[in-house]
Amino acid sequence: MQSIPNRPAAQSAYRALFILTALPVLVLVLTANALAENLTIDRIYSDPSLNGPNLRKPTFAPDGSRITFLKEKESDFTVLDLWSLDLATGKIGMFVDSQKISGGTENLSDEEKARRERMRLFQSGIVDYSWSEDAKLLLFPLGGDLYVYEIATGKTQQLTKTDAFETDARFSPKGRYVSFIRKQNLYVIDIKTREETAITSEGKGTIKFGMAEFVAQEEMGRYTGYWWAPDDSALAFARVDESPVNVSQRSEIYADQFKVIDQRYPYTGTPNARVDLYVRDVAGGTARKIDLGEDSDVYLARVNWMTDSQKLLVQRQSRDQRTLDLLVAERATGVSKVLVQETSKHWINLHDEIYFFKNKPWFIWASERDGFQHLYLYHINGELVAQLTSGEWMVNHLLSVNEAAGHIYFEGNRETPLERHAYRLKISPTGKPTKTQKITTAEGFHNVTVSGNGTYFIDSFSSPTQPVEVKVYRTKDLKEVAVLQANPLDENHPYHPYWADHSQPEFGKLKAEDGQDLYYSLHKPVPFDPAKKYPVLVDCYGGPGAQKVTKAWGSRYYLWLQYMAQRGYVVFTLDNRGSTNRGTAFEFPIHRRLGDVEVRDQQVGVAFLRSLPYVNGDKIGIFGWSYGGYMTLMTMMRAPDDFAAGVSVAPVTDWGLYDTHYTERYLDHPQDNGEGYTQSNVFAHIDGLRGPLFIIHGMADDNVLFTNATKLYKELQDRDIAFDMMNYPGKKHRIWGIQTRKHLFKATTAFFDKHLK
Helix axes 738-756, 556-566, angle to 10 degrees: 30
Among residues 574, 596, 734, the alpha carbon closest in space to that of 666 is found at 596
Q: 397, 407, 661, 733: which is the annotated catalytic residue?
A: 733
Annotated active-site residue 733? The verdict is yes
CA dist 629 and 622 (Å) reads: 9
d(CA 269, CA 117): 24
Whether residue 630 contacts residue 682, with contact meaning beta carbons closer than 8 Å, is answered with yes
Out of 626, 642, 648, 755, the active site residue is 626
- Closest listed residue to residue 544, CA positions, set 603, 626, 462: 626
Q: Is 374 an active-site residue? A: no
The b/e string for 297-322 (b: 16+ C-beta within 10 A; e otherwise) is: ebbbbbbbbbeebebbbbbbbbbebb
Q: Is 493 a catalytic residue?
A: no
Of 459, 539, 596, 701, the active-site residue reads 701
Q: What is the DSSP string of 203-238?
A: -BTTEEES---HHHHHHS----SEEE-TTSSEEEEE
Do 673 and 667 meet the contact criterion of CB atoms below 8 Å apart?
yes
Which amino acid makes up residue 315?
A: Q
615-625 and 645-649 strand pairing: parallel
3-class DSSP state of 368? coil
Which residue type, as a one-letter code, is found at position 426?
A: K
Phi and psi (nearest 5°) for 565?
A: -60, -40
- Element at 197 (helix H, strand E): strand 196-198
Q: Which of 743, 625, 646 is nearest to 691 (CA)?
A: 646
Q: Alpha carbon of 703 to those of 221, 250, 628: distances in Å?
A: 15, 11, 15
- What are the catalytic residues? 626, 701, 733
